[in-house]
Amino acid sequence: MNLETALQKLKEKGYKRTRQRERILEIFVKQDQYIAAKSILKEIQEDFPGVSYDTIYRNLYLLTDEEILEATELGGEKHFRLGCGTQGHHHHFICTDCGKTKSIEFCPMESINENLKGYDIENHKFEIYGKCPVCS
């Protein structure tokens, strides 16, 4: 996803186009990997010294809700990356060192055969963690 597509998506939902929001998106467009809130804050502070965690988290969650970003948890911290909306449903291997990912086409929901009668399934998460070839 590119910057303009993401901004367009926000505009359609009635969200305002702010400099901070733009800057956050830029970071994700540039770096195709999972990034921690802390790193986002640090990078944004170069342009907006007064930016607060409130702004960072509010936007990260907003963008995640709007399915522009995807979230996961690495080492006790939430990390975010640009969504893969166009590429169809898939999962990821995630490097716990650098945050880079590799797509996994296999989806466990296709193979699962458990008795979940009465359970209303809305979503699922399947992720493999470890070290990528570069980091291992």
Number of residues that bind a copy of itself (CB under 8 A): 33
Backbone angles phi, psi at 75, to 5 degrees: 55, 40
CB of 110 to a copy of itself, least distance (A): 9
Binding window for DNA (CB under 7 A); candidates: 15-23, 87-95, 106-114, 121-129: 15-23
76 vs 133, beta carbon nearer DNA: 76
Q: Are strands 77-82 and 35-36 parallel, antiparallel or unpaired?
A: antiparallel
Taking residues 72 to 101 in sequence order and writing x for each that binds a copy of itself by CB under 8 A, - otherwise, the string is: -x--x-x--------------x--x-----
Closest to a copy of itself by CB, 54 vs 122, is: 122
Q: Half-sphere exposure of 102 toward its Cβ, with a 13 Å CA cutoff?
A: 11
Write b or e for each residue in 75-105: b if 16 or more Cβ atoms lie within 10 A of its Cβ, otherwise e: eeebbbbbbeeeeeeebbebbeeebbbeeee
Establish if 50 lies at the interface with DNA (CB under 7 A).
yes
Q: Say whether residue 128 binds a copy of itself (CB under 8 A).
A: yes
Give the H or E element holding residue 25.
helix 19-30
Report the residue count for the chain: 136
Which positions lie near a copy of itself, rule CB under 8 A? Answer: 73, 76, 78, 93, 96, 102, 104-106, 108-109, 111-114, 116, 118-133, 136
